[in-house]
Chains A and B, each alone.
Chain A
């Protein structure tokens, strides 16, 4: 049973560019959340998708957007990249009332130069 898979594992982008990160949830999970983890910090909630809609959003600018597809997979898009966007981006999947059922992927390491 595959867990949460994320792609790519590593990515280097130039300031001002746009990036798309991808996530496939664990089998049986239909809710996807994205987190940003800066070096030496805990993960910070970006947003959550359920039924192809953004249900909750953290304190992130509109440059961060997402999408969820009918098969529950999800994309995170970041426009106009800043050096400060360099981080590990983690995807977590759960069932809608997943108070204890979050499963995290291994993340995508984004470096903005």
Chain B
């Protein structure tokens, strides 16, 4: 079944890099996603990676996928105060359009 695990809290100084980690258990996952949720808001899709890829870079965001260990990470370069939010990883599977989310990582950026 679907089970996504995330650690809970990360504090980072403005300008530094942030790395958020996620572990998933379902090896049949097709897509893996990173969503951002700011206080009082819905979920904003940041990036996604197809399961046959190892890495994807999109401006300040780098996603790394280790399929052997079922480990997904998101690196945010040059972290800004606007990056303070909760970050969720999620997975979906072929033929199944629903998303399974982790519990989220809260990132606090210190000016």
Smallest distance from the beta carbon of A26 to chain B beta carbons, Å? 12
Q: Given the complex, which residues of B lie within 8 Å of A8, measured CB to CB? A: none
Interface residues of A in 64-113 (CB under 8 A from B): 90, 92, 94, 96-100, 102-107
Interface size on A, residues (CB 8 A): 28
Question: Which segment, of B12-20, B64-72, B75-83, B100-108, faces chain A?
Answer: B100-108
- The interface size bin for chain B is 20 to 34
Binding site for B on A (CB under 8 A): 4, 31, 33, 35, 40-45, 48, 55-56, 58, 90, 92, 94, 96-100, 102-107
Kindly state the separation between the CA atoms of A102 and B91 in the bound complex, as whole angstroms: 12
How many A-B pairs with Cβ below 8 Å? 63
Please state if B103 and A105 are interface contacts (CB–CB under 8 Å). no
Known A41-B103, A42-B4, A99-B31: A104·B42 in contact at CB below 8 Å: yes
Interface string of B80-103 (1 = CB under 8 A from A): 000000001010100011111111
Contact in complex: B98, A104 (CB < 8 Å): no
